[in-house]
Amino acid sequence: MDTTQEEVIDGEDLSYEGQRFTRGPRCRVIGVLDDGVASLSGVALGHLREAECVIGARRTLTLLESQIAPTAERLDLGVGLSQVPDWVRQAQSVGKRCVVLATGDPLFFGIASYLAARLCVDALEVLPNLSAVQIACARLGLPWQSIKLCSIHARDAGEWRVGAQASHGLYELMQTLRSHERVAVLTSPDNSPDRIARMLLLEGLGEEFQIAVAESLLQPGERVRAELSAAEVAQMRFAELNIVLLLRLKPRPRPVLLGLADSTFEQRQPEKGLITKQEVRAVSLARMQLRLNSIIWDIGAGSGSVGLEAARLCSEGHVYAIEKNAEDFAIAGRNHRAMALSNYSLQQGKAPAGLEDWPDPDAVFIGGSGGELAQLIELILCRLKPQGMLVMNFVTIENLAAAVEALNAAGVQWDVLQLQASRSKPILHMHRMAAENPVWIVCAQAVVEP
């Protein structure tokens, strides 16, 4: 497989440390498959046989023991991945020929990128092998150039929960499944195929995907099971080493991204619906300066219209929403389920209580403050990321004045836009313009630290 349990690097900081080696032979990072020696080229075998220091997972070292020189030092990377760069440095500093044994393609969710970030590319030579995904697709006769690749080969993520936040180990996979037709997944003993299937069922996607599981590839117990349903896989158990392929049974929907009609959202009726109207919502979202990976706070979510539309725009980000009114909280929850979004978390409460657990935002929308406006603005301006945007909607002069006073006290730049839309309505065989209530859109940007 592409990574053994000892090679897990998910969550590691891959920042480049800038070391540059001027002595010692390059370390060879060699990809190995589960059929051992048979998977290696003559060049790779030559490097392995000549190595004076061999680093690898215990299972891989055992698999290739016959090809390692008796005098070579053997180091088990299962002792601690963080020690491997130092082991390589030490070997190179005394001129030892060093080999790191990886599985599959070492640059595919593997150890080679981890080492390159800490040792620099000049210190390494990567000899890749086939990845487990390539082999699984070959067994199924499935072209893989358009498959989205995802790894949950990491620590135990726990069972999926509807509304789980970005810290959950299956979050990225859930987002990927929402936005792709075909997905290949590197699993782990804990984050197993049956756990993925249960997640699909919880999110209402059980009928959307067909599942194939390739187990113990290139081993005597190899087995490939295809055309499985999520309900079937949820009750099955598989060998620890496996690849999961998820294939949509029909093309995913391509909904409108921006400017959803107000009727798209459930809201309180009549004339009491807490919803930011379409025109105001579009301008407010534009002023929030959203990016694909933005973290957004939606305070006073009402029906959830702003936060849910933001979540659709920020498919790699996450929206954290709060609503104090029980009826509106329930409505926002139903709208969330109808939108079928995984990057949206809703809680009931009165801000600022609960905001301390949210990650710092790139943008904040305030649709209702519950009388804590000045305190909220002060807290948000402290938490906003540099150049982050605060956008607020007001329909009363008093709240507008309170917001401006709080922004002036904080010493930030702000601007106000008054938006008043009129919509055509039929009257007999003609049409008239019916005015919506004017709304003040107040925007402020976080101060960039020098």
Percent of the chain with pLDDT over 70: 92
> So what's the pLDDT on residue 251?
85
Tell me how far apart the terminal alpha carbons of the chain are, to the nearest angstrom: 47
pLDDT band at 190; cut points 50, 70, 90: very high
**Cβ atoms within 10 A of the Cβ of 82, count?**
11
Percent of the chain with pLDDT over 90: 70
Summarised one tens digit per residue, pLDDT across range 346-384 is: 999 999 988 999 999 999 999 877 678 999 999 999 999
Most confident of 159-173, 213-227, 254-268: 213-227
Q: Which two tokens stand for residue 335?
A: 């709208």
Nearest to 246 by CA among 226, 231, 232: 226
User: With contact defined as beta carbons under 8 Å apart, do 394 and 439 qualify?
Assistant: yes
* Collapsed DSSP state (helix, strand, coil) of residue 79: helix
User: With contact defined as beta carbons under 8 Å apart, do 101 and 72 qualify?
Assistant: no
| DSSP category for residue 261 | -
Q: How far apart are CA 280 and CA 38, in angstroms?
A: 64
Q: Which two tokens stand for residue 255?
A: 């909904």
User: With contact defined as beta carbons under 8 Å apart, do 233 and 197 qualify?
Assistant: yes
Summarised one tens digit per residue, pLDDT across range 296-352 is: 999 999 999 999 999 999 988 999 999 999 999 999 999 998 888 889 999 999 999
Summarised one tens digit per residue, pLDDT across range 76-119 is: 988 888 899 999 999 999 999 999 999 899 998 889 999 998 98
Most confident of 11-25, 48-62, 76-90, 252-266: 48-62
User: With contact defined as beta carbons under 8 Å apart, do 113 and 107 qualify?
Assistant: yes
Q: How far apart are CA 188 and CA 227, in angstroms?
A: 21
User: With contact defined as beta carbons under 8 Å apart, do 388 and 450 qualify?
Assistant: no
To 10 degrees, the CA torsion angle through 206, 207, 210, 211?
A: 10
Instruction: Inform me whether the pLDDT recorded for 446 exceeds 90.
Output: no
> So what's the pLDDT on residue 354?
87
pLDDT band at 270; cut points 50, 70, 90: low
The rounded mean pLDDT for the chain is 89
Summarised one tens digit per residue, pLDDT across range 129-153 is: 999 999 999 999 999 999 999 999 8
| DSSP category for residue 429 | T
Q: Which two tokens stand for residue 356?
A: 């301390």
User: With contact defined as beta carbons under 8 Å apart, do 7 and 111 qualify?
Assistant: yes
pLDDT band at 9; cut points 50, 70, 90: very low
Measured CA distances, 406 to 287, 345, 376, 400, 403 (Å): 20, 28, 9, 10, 5
Nearest to 406 by CA among 418, 395, 392, 417: 392
* Collapsed DSSP state (helix, strand, coil) of residue 443: strand
- Across the range 213-231, mean pLDDT stands at 94
